[in-house]
């Protein structure tokens, strides 16, 4: 199943330059910037607000960015 998700999300990312998905109550966002792909994880805090808990830059392909972000 993970392989089909990687393929699907990478295709969306290539076409739209951004993709957002949710898994296990975590929101994953990936979008293009001048240096590659920016990665962001958002989790809901005790106050019910979404906050960035991790993120970074991927300078590889769209597929690399999605594979890095998808939970194992």
Please give the model's pTM, rounded to 2 decimal places: 0.86
CB 18 within 8 A of CB 31: yes
Question: 35-55 pLDDT, tens per residue?
Answer: 999 999 999 999 999 999 999
Range of the domain at 46: 2-69
State the pLDDT confidence band at 72, using cuts at 50, 70 and 90: low
Query: How many domains does the chain fold into?
Result: 1
Question: Bigger pLDDT: 14 or 4?
Answer: 14
Would you say residue 18 has pLDDT above 90?
A: yes
């Amino acid at each position: 199943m993970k392989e089909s998700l990687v393929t699907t999300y990478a295709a969306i990312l290539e076409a739209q330059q951004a993709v957002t998905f949710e898994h296990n109550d975590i929101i994953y966002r990936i979008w293009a910037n001048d240096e590659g792909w920016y990665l962001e994880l958002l989790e809901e805090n005790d106050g019910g607000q979404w906050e960035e808990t991790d993120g970074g830059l991927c300078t590889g392909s769209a597929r690399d960015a999605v594979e890095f972000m998808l939970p194992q």
